[in-house]
Amino acid sequence: MPKDFQQVDWNEQVEQDCRVLTRLAIHEDLAQQQDWTTVALVPSGIEGKANIVTRQAGVVAGIPALVAAIDEMQARLTLMPAVQEGDSITPNRVLATLTGSVRDLFTSERILLNLLGRLMGIATLAGQYVEAVAGTGTQVYDTRKTTPGWRRLEKYAARCGGVRNHRTGLFDAVLIKDNHLALLNSIELDSSELKSSEQNGLGGGPAAAVQRARAFLSADSGRPSGCLIEIEVDTLDQLKAVLPVSPDIVLLDNMSPKILRDAVQLRNRLAPRVQLEASGGVSLSKIRQIAETGVERISVGALTHSVRSLDIGLDWCEAG
């Protein structure tokens, strides 16, 4: 099986991100004061029950986030989930029931619903993209085009929808992009690098950049083991130049389906073990056509940068 990026499951690091975001949300809503509406209308000590309900069909993601957020808010509430992560649900489905302090219930309502709605919106859109390529053998990947501070949570939600995670950050893979290549083309390599590149017929282009990255990873024990090397190209000539040095993945940027098919044929002939990833302007209406070109991966920024939150509500049940 080809090497892949580290996948984001619910873990301590994701939970800590959730807690940091919850603290910010508390500051936004309360500003070190109180929910004056609730304090004015709800007697102290009264308990009750309410259901968290989805108004739309979707995919569940974020129940563990609710648990962490309730704990971070020190809310006297008990959460009883009625669904599991990754479940496909219909409109008006009860997702969970909250019981406990009514004051805490009303004060935390918007924070909890905002959190869950965002994560379920991502998981739902991710599921639609995965369904669109079903049967092609192509995997859909997310990107780093995430909401600042939300990256691990958003990638976790994408996973709940069936998408694979691309690199989490700059620290866990090498991805040589067009600006890296532009820089390398504008500066002089030192004599040993230039001589090595010329001897291998690589010049100073993308192949030399891959070799430079591979040599760095091999020489520096501080790098993560199994670190992937991916390079972005935007022409078939660049692809042909880089395939002989076998990067793990070549990202084919903004190529038409016809050119993608040509790229797959070229890869099959020169370096069949190299994975190909299509990226750039991928939409739900186009992704099937892209997948049918034979690429193994398609990365989709819209999963996180253009998603709409799912409509989630809190329905009052009874006072305890």
What would the two tokens of residue 141 be?
A: 């990947």
Kindly name the residue from 177, 214, 286, 288 that is annotated as catalytic. Answer: 177
What does the alpha-carbon distance between residue 66 and residue 312 come to, in Å, rounded to a whole number? 13
What does the alpha-carbon distance between residue 98 and residue 302 come to, in Å, rounded to a whole number? 33
Secondary structure class of 92 (helix, strand, coil)? coil
Minimum mean pLDDT among 29-38, 53-62, 295-304: which range?
29-38
**Is 232 one of the catalytic residues?**
yes
Q: What is the dihedral of CA 252, 256, 260, 262, to 10 degrees?
A: -130
Q: Is pLDDT of 194 > 90?
A: no
What are the φ/ψ torsions at residue 2 (nearest 5 degrees)?
A: -60, 150
Identify which of 118, 50, 123, 114 has the alpha carbon closest to the alpha carbon of residue 89: 123
In this predicted model, what pLDDT tens digit does every residue of 222-274 receive, in sequence order? 666 678 999 999 999 999 999 999 999 999 999 999 999 999 999 999 999 99
Identify which of 211, 221, 289, 281 has the alpha carbon closest to the alpha carbon of residue 246: 211
Q: Is pLDDT of 201 > 60?
A: no
Kindly name the residue from 19, 76, 110, 144 that is annotated as catalytic. Answer: 110
Determine the pLDDT at residue 187. 76
Q: Is pLDDT of 210 > 90?
A: yes
Q: Is pLDDT of 204 > 90?
A: no
pLDDT over 70 for what percent of the chain?
A: 92
In this predicted model, what pLDDT tens digit does every residue of 157-174 receive, in sequence order? 999 999 999 999 998 899
Kindly name the residue from 230, 232, 248, 277 that is annotated as catalytic. Answer: 232
Kindly name the residue from 145, 223, 261, 288 that is annotated as catalytic. Answer: 145
**So where are the chain's domains?**
12-130+307-319, 164-299
Gyration radius of the chain's alpha carbons: 24
Please give the CATH topology (third level) of the domain spanning 12-130+307-319. Answer: Aldehyde Oxidoreductase; domain 3 (3.90.1170)
**Is 177 one of the catalytic residues?**
yes
Using the structure block, give the residue that is written with the tokens 């563990």.
Answer: 64
Measure CA 169 to chain center: 10
Determine the pLDDT at residue 318. 78
What does the alpha-carbon distance between residue 275 and residue 1 come to, in Å, rounded to a whole number? 11
Kindly name the residue from 71, 193, 234, 253 that is annotated as catalytic. Answer: 253
Determine the pLDDT at residue 108. 95
CATH 1.10.10.60 for domain 164-299, yes or no, is: no
**What is the per-residue DSSP string for 123-142?**
HHHHHHHHHHTTTS-PEEE-
Residue 264 neighbours by CB distance under 10 Å: 17
Given a contact cutoff of 8 angstroms between Cβ atoms, the answer to whether 48 and 110 are in contact is no
Given a contact cutoff of 8 angstroms between Cβ atoms, the answer to whether 288 and 138 are in contact is no
Given a contact cutoff of 8 angstroms between Cβ atoms, the answer to whether 92 and 55 are in contact is yes
The model's confidence at residue 184, banded by pLDDT at 50, 70 and 90, is confident
Using the structure block, give the residue that is written with the tokens 């500051």.
Answer: 27
Determine the pLDDT at residue 221. 61
Q: What is the dihedral of CA 12, 17, 19, 22, to 10 degrees?
A: -160
Mean pLDDT score of the chain: 92
**Is 253 one of the catalytic residues?**
yes
Query: What's the predicted TM-score (pTM) here?
Result: 0.92
